[in-house]
């Protein structure tokens, strides 16, 4: 029996509203007890004692959308380097997209991802499986078998399921097995060949624009199909005010709909593109400041359930190109936590709501047994130095790729220690 005593912590659990000084006891990888008076008489004999020095102890972060590039493009990232980056950022659970090479659309690949994650042993890695074979948008995968193998949801990753008939069948099939369908809501005939947000800046730079309507049109169509089928539907990385309002209305009508966004969409706007800066090229693109403010408001009032890193590593050959030719996406595993905390430090979102978006909310959406501080729960934990100032420096990141527009940004708060199953997998020296 292994026992670890975390003493002198600020226990903070968005799932239950707990916010109290106290301690937490781990026995054999699970939370055995916690509370304000737990170690009033000292830590149990034989337990490893860790002094949390009053810092914030929260459930380990859950990143519900990341691209790990393995198999197929390990020169950009692999599961080992992604795991190292994740735990350095306080993330203990990663859910990866199926847009690898080959595509994760059969049972063997789902099992491969899960096995690789277990072998690395730093963070839990769960795969989404493709909703359509080869991400081609034409033929559905065997969702039932893939779910039995461990797929936690179904998506075509960075591609929208554009065909309405295919989407209806996917939702109906998912409804049969009570599975989650995750959509990249961007109407391709409106977004292609755009590179940035449609508007004055795109016009001035001479770049083809992607209208906000490309997101809203597809989302509204999907919501009608959800109404028809009753399937669980999740919209990924919302970026526009119109999409937030559409989700808000769908929730008012009781539809089984959830959504997430990513830090770039509340921490940056289209001006970050600056002088054709490809590190600010994303899909969907960075939007207007009005859209950015709507995303912040959506997080604050709970319309936007979760925040994902949307980690998309690219090497220099993919990014150091003319803007229109450069790949879309940025890395995000090591910047997720400080940018989420920025919402609270700036007074835009209460701390509990901000941290719920990266703990309890994604756990609930994905049906994962984590994301809370409770007796019996896995001891996947993050100790946060809430007020520690630092400056983002991507050359120190564990991720193989360095494509981040946040390089050099001053932030406040970081993961001081990360535990997986009661085992320390990351720790910053005091």
- CATH code for 61-371? 3.20.20.140
Report how far apart, in Å, the C-alpha atoms of 140 and of each of 99, 113, 191, 310 are: 15, 21, 24, 24
Binding residue per annotation — 163?
A: no
Binding residue per annotation — 237?
A: yes
Report how far apart, in Å, the C-alpha atoms of 163 and of each of 140, 180, 225, 241 are: 12, 18, 12, 24
Give one word for 185, left, alpha or beta, with left for phi > 0 and alpha for psi -120 to 50. Answer: beta
Q: List the one residue out of 384, 280, 273, 266 whose CA is nearest residue 331.
A: 280
Report how far apart, in Å, the C-alpha atoms of 25 and of each of 2, 6, 50, 342 are: 10, 6, 10, 30
Binding residue per annotation — 184?
A: yes
Cβ atoms of 33 and 44 closer than 8 Å? no
pLDDT of residue 108: 98
Give one word for 54, left, alpha or beta, with left for phi > 0 and alpha for psi -120 to 50. Answer: left
Binding residue per annotation — 126?
A: no
pLDDT of residue 6: 98
Q: Is residue 305 flagged as an active site residue? A: no
Phi, psi of 54 (to 5 degrees): 80, 5
Q: C-alpha angle 365/250/221, rounded to 5°?
A: 100
In the block, which residue shows the tokens 């009032």?
301
315 pLDDT band, cuts 50/70/90, is very high
User: Among the options 222, 260, 310, 380, which is catalytic?
Assistant: 310
Q: C-alpha angle 254/62/420, rounded to 5°?
A: 145
260-286 average pLDDT score: 97
306: β partners: 260
Stated as kind and residue range, the H or E segment containing 385 is strand 381-391
**β strands within 194-323, DSSP E:** 196-197, 209-210, 232-235, 257-261, 306-307
pLDDT of residue 117: 98
Does the pLDDT of residue 362 top 90, yes or no? yes
pLDDT greater at residue 382 or residue 193: 382
Cα dihedral sign, 264-270-273-278: positive
Separation CA 179–CA 156 (nearest Å): 15
pLDDT tens readout for residues 207-240: 999 999 999 999 999 999 999 999 999 999 999 9
pLDDT tens readout for residues 32-65: 999 999 998 899 999 999 999 999 999 999 999 9
Does the pLDDT of residue 334 top 80, yes or no? yes
Separation CA 38–CA 207 (nearest Å): 60
Other C-beta atoms lying within 10 Å of the C-beta of residue 320: 12
pLDDT of residue 1: 87
423 pLDDT band, cuts 50/70/90, is very high
pLDDT of residue 260: 98
Percent of the chain having pLDDT more than 70? 100
Report how far apart, in Å, the C-alpha atoms of 391 and of each of 177, 330, 377, 395 are: 46, 18, 34, 12
Separation CA 86–CA 117 (nearest Å): 12
429 pLDDT band, cuts 50/70/90, is confident
pLDDT of residue 194: 87
Separation CA 239–CA 242 (nearest Å): 9
Measure CA 117 to chain center. 17
Binding residue per annotation — 192?
A: no
Give one word for 187, left, alpha or beta, with left for phi > 0 and alpha for psi -120 to 50. Answer: beta
Separation CA 143–CA 174 (nearest Å): 7
DSSP string across 276-307: T-GGG--SSPP--HHHHHHHHHHHHTTSS-EE
Does the pLDDT of residue 430 top 80, yes or no? no
Question: Where are the chain's structural domains?
Answer: 3-57+378-427, 61-371
Which CATH number does the domain 3-57+378-427 belong to among 3.40.50.12780, 2.30.40.10, 3.30.70.870, 3.50.50.60? 2.30.40.10
Q: Looking at beta carbons, which pairs linking 323-327 to residues 24 or more positions away fall under 8 Å?
A: 323/195, 323/196, 323/205, 323/207, 323/273, 323/276, 323/278, 323/281, 324/193, 324/195, 324/207, 324/208, 326/278, 326/281, 327/281
């Amino acid at each position: 029996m292994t026992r670890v005593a975390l003493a002198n912590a600020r226990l903070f659990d968005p799932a239950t509203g707990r916010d109290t000084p106290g301690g937490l006891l781990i026995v054999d990888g699970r939370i055995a007890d916690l509370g304000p008076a737990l170690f009033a008489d000292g830590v149990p004999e034989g337990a490893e004692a860790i002094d949390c020095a009053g810092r914030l102890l929260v459930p380990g972060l859950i990143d519900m959308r990341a691209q790990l590039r393995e198999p197929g493009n390990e020169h950009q990232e692999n599961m080992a380097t992604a795991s190292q980056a994740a735990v350095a950022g306080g993330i203990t659970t990663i859910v990866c997209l199926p847009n690898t090479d080959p595509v994760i659309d059969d049972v063997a690949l789902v099992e491969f991802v899960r096995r690789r994650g277990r072998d690395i042993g730093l963070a839990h890695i769960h795969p989404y499986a493709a909703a359509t074979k080869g991400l081609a948008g034409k033929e559905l995968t065997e969702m039932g078998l893939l779910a039995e193998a461990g797929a936690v949801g179904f998506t075509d990753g960075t591609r929208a399921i554009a065909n309405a008939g295919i989407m209806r069948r996917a939702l109906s099939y998912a409804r049969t097995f009570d599975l989650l369908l995750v959509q990249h809501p961007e109407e391709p005939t409106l977004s292609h060949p755009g590179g940035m947000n449609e508007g004055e800046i795109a016009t001035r730079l001479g770049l083809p624009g992607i209208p906000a309507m490309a997101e809203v049109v597809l989302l509204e169509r999907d919501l009608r199909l959800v109404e028809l089928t009753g399937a669980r539907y999740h919209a990924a990385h919302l970026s526009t005010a119109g999409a937030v309002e559409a989700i808000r209305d769908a929730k008012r009508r009781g539809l089984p709909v959830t959504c997430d966004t990513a830090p770039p969409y509340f921490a940056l706007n289209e001006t970050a593109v600056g002088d054709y800066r490809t590190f600010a090229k994303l899909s969907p693109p960075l939007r207007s400041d009005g859209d950015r403010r709507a995303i912040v408001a959506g997080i604050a009032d709970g319309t936007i359930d979760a925040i994902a890193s949307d980690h998309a590593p690219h090497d220099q050959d993919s990014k150091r190109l003319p803007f229109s030719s450069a790949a879309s996406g940025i890395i995000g595993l090591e910047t997720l936590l400080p940018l989420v905390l920025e919402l609270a430090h700036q007074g835009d979102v209460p701390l509990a709501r901000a941290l719920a978006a990266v703990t309890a909310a994604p756990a609930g959406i994905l049906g994962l047994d984590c994301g809370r501080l409770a007796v019996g729960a896995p001891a996947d934990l993050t100790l946060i130095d809430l007020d520690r100032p630092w400056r983002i420096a991507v050359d120190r990141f564990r991720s193989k790729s360095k494509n981040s527009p946040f390089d050099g940004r001053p932030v406040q708060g970081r993961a001081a220690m990360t535990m997986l199953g009661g085992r320390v997998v990351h720790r910053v020296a005091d």
